[in-house]
Structure 1
Amino acid sequence: MHTVSREKLYEEVWSRPMTKVAAEYGVTSTALKKTCNRHKIPTPERGYWAKLEHDKPVRRVSLPKLADARLDQVRISGTSTPDLPEQVSKAGIEARERLTTASELAAAGATDFPVEEPPILGATRRAISKARPDAAGFTSAQGRGIVSLKIAPGSADRALQLLSRLFALAETEGYRSKVSDTGLELATEDVSIAFGIEERPSKTTHEPSAAELKRRDDNRRYGISKDPWPKYDYSPSGRLAIVIQANLWSGLRRTWSDSKTQKVEAVLPEIVAGLAEHGALLKERRRAAEESERQRQKAEARRRREEAFNAREKRRLEFVDAIHEQLLERSKLTAVLAHLEQSSAEGKNHTESISAWIRRRIRQIDALTSPEFLDLSARSAKLGFVEPPKDPGSEYASGYYAYPSVPSLQLWSIDEEKELATSTGMLEWAIHAGLLPASEDARVKDETAKAEPPPQS
């Protein structure tokens, strides 16, 4: 609710177009003009701002004095829509300015001359002419390429003429008719808006017939007290309304209808401005949905990247643990070998075979943990210690990589000529390194055979 003095409102409506003043108060220009009329505030005539812009003579009507002091304060009840984006109100204001200042567009709201019916309305005319009235006297038309209608048969010509005027005026704002599976819509390159025409019904109290009265008396004998007839009867009124079938519960105006003082044809510029607002809101909602989806995909990519990073870190630690385990074993073997060598120096050596095996095992660990073999083992396990680039085409961009198993250290046979490395087992590597004989027939002492016990003293 806004409260403003009569003098201030008079200065506002004569200093700026009515559409801009009305937008600040959260009302339509038509509603603001009605408020001015109630408070005896003169407003600029149609075409005033266009004439002023082209330096043509205009006349400003003085504010008359009133004896009724109650009219000095003007209360304007505007509809607040703070949740709507700024682009929506801006689109409506700009459209209203264009439709108000252009004299040829303002003339489209007049009703004293017919407008040629466009061919695109042919399907709508045929559908409404073939439709049969319902019990209340209304006919309905809808379907592919048909404007949604619910009117009395006698209102068909006026409804089609109203649509012709709406299409002509909407075309000046860049809207074209578009056939859809559910109807005929007004569309720009970005959005498509469905709409329809409805005839407001007249409501009268139902007068029960003799048969209905008899049915009521029969029902009451069985304990049914409800009257067996409707409370009201509905019939065509001739009052038409244009309804925009978009952006439900948005706060934007969706219905314009005949009133006691003017026909809906007179507010066609306001309806087209409403189309601009609805179109802007549809575009903003689509943009917001696309941005939300983009943020969702970005968050999902971040989550999947983090998941892949954690998986790589886990495998890297497993690989390092495997190296550390080998180094611990080497330290243990080295300590045992030192003990055995010290014992051998003090007397007869009875553990030469054990020492030989420990030396072979140490050489195997040294090979496993050598930089060359570690690099080959890491690459074989598809394990990298440098983070991959943040590239949509990289193997990690899609998220978690399905690694085959826990990474392990391997022994390798390297062919220098072919530049080929092949993983090999411990026995094969020991033979290739010359630590074990290549032939199984060689006379080698079986170190795993059961040792004979020493002779008793």
Structure 2
Amino acid sequence: MENEKGIVKLTRKQLYDEIWALSVAGVARKYNLNYGKLIATCKVENIPFPSSGYWTKKNMGKDVSNEIAEFSGLEDTEISLITKDAVIKRVRKAKAEVVEKVHTDITEELDVTAEEDLLQKKTENIPKWSDGILDYLDETERNKVLEYACNLQISQSTRLHKMLVQYKKDIADYKSKLKEAQSRPYYNPRHNKPENEPEFFKEMSDECMTRAIAILDTVFKSIESLGGSINSDLSVKIRGDIVRFRMVESQDQVKHEMTKQEAQALVKYNDDIKNHRWASKPQIRKYDKVYNGKLRIVFGERSYIRDNDSEKLEDRMGDILVTLYEKAEENRIVREAREEAERKRVEEARRREENRQRKEQEIRLVKELVNKAEDYRIAKEIREYIQAMIDSGNEDITPEWIEWALKKADWYDPSIATEDEYLGKRQHEKSAEEKEKSLQDSIRKSWYW
């Protein structure tokens, strides 16, 4: 319970029970505490708390009983927890100093400003993130990102991020080229505008651009401190995936105030009509759209964070950082699904090509087998014919003829494959047509020589 304004007092056992019932984030929301400070307190007081994966498994109905860390130590030791809206002039307890030191070790890289008499930053607009937020990160990285998100504040005292410096220079260069182009005769904005117009701050006034740059400067530096990087088009790379977004200033529709030239054109038109002369009515719009100073940062087509009556983007820096991480994770899932689909497509194409090649090879081997078998059959028939001629006792069957005929049988026989003095080596694997053509070619070559 809350004993003093801005201080919540719980025993170690009460805090342990509530954390394992609600989660650290749930307890932080219940008592209006800073999430990072509460984590630091638990570590100092040696109070175990669930990992981010614990709640995911539990919500999926899985058994998490073996992941519950047992409570140890004194149960009734009282812990004072400082709420987010507390302002304390000085630190009265040594334990609070230890908690602040642990917290400082986590957040010392942040570029934020703070008053020396504040133990707890005034963070009225810390987003109410759900327990599952950033649960795809390991616990250490998740806690670090959330700690950054909870403590982000815009600082005007640091040097502007180098990508923003370059982008401002690109805008100035483009405006100079545009002014030069507009000064030329017959300038047409559709065809004569310079190329490579910087697009990021195109949909906002110069006044709002100053705000947008300050917001981006803080976010960019935090992303780099967390291991990400910034691209020249002001998109960000988080955990290996690119997140593209834009910043837009809203516009109000106001009644159009007629210019002097429009008024003159309208008077002339009315005079022409009154005097029965043909005239084309001037096109004068009824409304104008004017920038109203309200910024929004847009992620994709439908997701955005915007200024409203109670808070501005500067008050929701943590939301912006966390959303960029969430979009990076969404992009990772889409990218990996795309890569997996491409891998499967390539694998399927490779498998089909292998099958095609195997089929072609099988057809070729079968044809060669048939062709060799045909040669073997001929060789066998030649030998049978030789034997039949010998058995017939024909006087024309001389030893020389028998020797010659047996050599031709060996030339035909693929199991022997004798090379003939005149016919060369028979290509047993080829078809009869191919063999005949090969013989004819060899004859023509002999004629040539």
TM-score normalised per structure 2 = 0.52
Instruction: Give the equivalent residue in structure 1 for 2:235.
Output: 185
Structure of greater Rg: 1
| Equivalences for residues 19-418 of structure 1 within 5 A | 43-47=30-34, 50-51=37-38, 54-55=41-42, 56-58=79-81, 90=136, 98-100=144-146, 102=147, 105-109=149-153, 114-120=156-162, 121-126=164-169, 131=175, 148-179=201-232, 183-188=233-238, 190-206=240-256, 210-211=263-264, 228-244=283-299, 248=300, 253=303, 255-337=304-386, 339-344=388-393, 349=394, 351-352=396-397, 357=401, 360-369=404-413, 371-373=415-417
Q: Is the 8 A contact 1:243 1:256 kept in 2?
A: yes
Q: Is the 8 A contact 1:216 1:228 kept in 2?
A: no
CA distance in 2, matches of 1:155, 1:123: 18
CA distance in 2, matches of 1:87, 1:342: 99
Q: Is the 8 A contact 2:379 2:413 kept in 1?
A: no
CA pair 92-340 structure 1, distance change in 2 beyond 3 A: closer
CA pair 360-283 structure 1, distance change in 2 beyond 3 A: same
Q: Is the 8 A contact 2:248 2:295 kept in 1?
A: yes
**Alpha-carbon RMSD:** 5.4
**Paired residue secondary structure (2:296):** strand
**Paired residue secondary structure (2:289):** strand
**Paired residue secondary structure (2:235):** strand
**Paired residue secondary structure (2:248):** strand
Question: Going by fraction, where is strand more abundant, 1 or 2?
Answer: 1
Q: Is the 8 A contact 1:204 1:234 kept in 2?
A: yes
CA pair 276-263 structure 1, distance change in 2 beyond 3 A: same
Q: Is the 8 A contact 1:187 1:193 kept in 2?
A: yes
Structure 2: runs of 5+ lacking an equivalent = 1-17, 43-78, 84-131, 180-193, 420-424, 437-441, 444-449
**1:352-375 deviation per Cα after TM superposition (whole angstroms, max 9, x unaligned):** 36x975763344223442635389
**1:157-201 deviation per Cα after TM superposition (whole angstroms, max 9, x unaligned):** 32222222222333343233333xxx2333346233344432111
Matched residue type, 2:247: I
CA pair 336-50 structure 1, distance change in 2 beyond 3 A: same
* Deviation (angstroms), 1:237: 0.5
Q: Is the 8 A contact 1:52 1:58 kept in 2?
A: no
CA pair 164-373 structure 1, distance change in 2 beyond 3 A: same
CA pair 117-151 structure 1, distance change in 2 beyond 3 A: farther
**Paired residue secondary structure (2:417):** helix
* Deviation (angstroms), 1:343: 4.2
Instruction: Give the equivalent residue in structure 2 for 1:453.
Output: none
**1:1-45 deviation per Cα after TM superposition (whole angstroms, max 9, x unaligned):** xxxxxxxxxx99x92466x89xxxxxxxxxxxxxxxxxxxx8542
* Deviation (angstroms), 1:265: 1.3
TM-score normalised per structure 1 = 0.51
Q: Is the 8 A contact 1:333 1:358 kept in 2?
A: no
CA distance in 1, matches of 2:312, 2:139: 23
Instruction: Give the equivalent residue in structure 1 for 2:115.
Output: none
Q: Is the 8 A contact 2:305 2:313 kept in 1?
A: yes
Instruction: Give the equivalent residue in structure 2 for 1:420.
Output: none
| Equivalences for residues 422-441 of structure 1 within 5 A | none
CA distance in 2, matches of 1:405, 1:192: 64
